[in-house]
Amino acid sequence: MSDQTLFLAIFLGSKDSARMKAWSELPDEARRAKEKEGIAAWHAWVEKHKASIVDIGGPLGKTRAIGEDGIVDRANALTGFTVVRCASHEEAAKMFEGHPHFAIFPGESVEVMPVLPIPGV
C-alpha cells in the first residue's frame, strides 16, 4: 500500500466573472494568442507533474442535478478536473500554484481535496 493519497482538483470559473468578461472583450487575435499561450503552459504543467497525475481529467460540460424532485439543469462554477497522487494535501495544493487555469486563462481558482476511503469497504 502506498503512503500517497489521491486528490481531486476541481477547476472553478464563472461566465459572469470580471476575468471572463475581460477575456471575452479581448480582440479575437489577442484572445487566440492568449489561448495558444495558455495551452502551451498547460501542457508544460502536465509534463512537469506527470509523475503525480493519475487522471488528466478534462473540461466539464453542463450540469444536471438529480434530487428528490427529479432532474433539473443547474449552473455552477465547475469547469474541469484532474486527479493527482501526492504524499500530502499541501504537496497536492502546491502543484496548482500559478496554474495556467487562472494565471493565463480567465479561470478563478483550483480547489484540491483528498479522495477519502469509503467507510466499511
pLDDT at 1: 40
Q: What percent of the chain has pLDDT over 90?
A: 92
Tens digits of per-residue pLDDT, 13-51?
Answer: 998 999 999 999 999 999 999 999 999 999 999 999 999
Domain boundaries, the chain: 5-65+72-114
Tens digits of per-residue pLDDT, 72-113?
Answer: 999 999 999 999 999 999 999 999 999 999 999 999 999 999
Q: Right CATH number for 5-65+72-114 from 3.10.150.10, 3.40.50.880, 3.60.10.10, 3.30.70.1060? A: 3.30.70.1060
Evaluate whether 107 touches 79 at the Cβ level (below 8 Å): yes
Categorize the per-residue pLDDT at 57 as very low, low, confident or very high, splitting at 50, 70 and 90: very high
Which residue has 502551451 as its cell numbers? 40
pTM of the predicted model as reported, rounded to 2 decimal places: 0.90
